[in-house]
A = this chain, B = another copy of it.
Amino acid sequence: MIVIMSANSTDTEIEAVRRHIVDRGLRAQVVQGVERRIVGVIGAITVELQGELELMRGVAEVVRVSKPYKLASREFHPDSTVVSIGKAGVKIGAAHFAVFAGPCVVESDDQVLATAKAVKAAGAKVLRGGAYKPRTSPYSFRGMGEDGLKILSAASAETGLPVITDVMSVRDVETVYRYADVLQIGARNMQNFNLLDEVGKVDKPVMVKRGFAATYEDWLLAAEYVMAGGNKSVILCERGIRTFETYTRNTMDINAIPVIRKLSQLPIVSDPSHGTGKWYLVPPLANASAAAGCDGLIIEVHPSPDTAKSDGPQSLIFENFARLMAQVAAVRAALAGAAKISPHS
A residues touching B (Cβ–Cβ < 8 Å)? 2, 4, 6-8, 29, 31-36, 38, 40, 42-44, 47-48, 51-52, 54-57, 63, 65-66, 68-69, 75-76, 134-142, 168-171, 188-189, 191-197, 211-213, 215-218, 221, 224-225, 228, 241-248, 251-255, 257-259, 262, 275-276, 279-281, 283-285, 287-293, 305-313, 317, 319-320, 322-324, 326-327, 330-331, 333-335, 337-344
Contact = CB atoms under 8 A, between A and B. Distances in A.
B258 A244 contact: no
Contacts of A66: 33, 35-36
Of A69, A76, A171, A252, the most chain B CB neighbours within 10 A belong to: A252
A71 to B, nearest CB: 9
Contact of A344 (B69, B135, B305): B305
A334 B332 CA distance: 9
8 contacts: A51-B312, A68-B136, A68-B139, A142-B193, A169-B192, A192-B192, A252-B254, A254-B288
B65 A285 contact: no
Given A215-B246, A285-B258, A338-B330, A224 B138 contact: yes
Contact of A331 (B257, B291, B319): B291
A74 to B, nearest CB: 10
Contacts of A137: 47, 68-69, 221, 224
Contacts of A134: 191, 193
B221 A247 contact: no
A279 B288 CA distance: 18
Contacts of A32: 42
Given A241-B245, A258-B284, A331-B334, 15 more contacts: A6-B75, A33-B66, A36-B65, A36-B66, A48-B312, A54-B312, A55-B305, A170-B170, A215-B245, A252-B253, A259-B281, A283-B341, A285-B292, A323-B338, A330-B337
A148 B262 CA distance: 37
Contacts of A334: 327, 330-331, 333-334
Contacts of A324: 341
A134 B192 CA distance: 8
Of A188, A288, A308, the most chain B CB neighbours within 10 A belong to: A288
Going nearest first, the 6 A-B pairs with the smallest beta carbon separation are A213-B213, A330-B334, A288-B288, A287-B291, A334-B334, A291-B291
B191 A136 contact: yes
Nearest to A283: B341
Contact of A51 (B31, B311, B320): B311
B136 A54 contact: no
Contacts of A276: 255
A132 to B, nearest CB: 8
Contact of A327 (B36, B258, B338): B338
Given A330-B334, A331-B335, A259 B247 contact: yes
Contacts of A36: 65-66
B327 A339 contact: yes
A16 to B, nearest CB: 11
A33 B38 contact: no
Contacts of A140: 47
A326 B344 contact: no
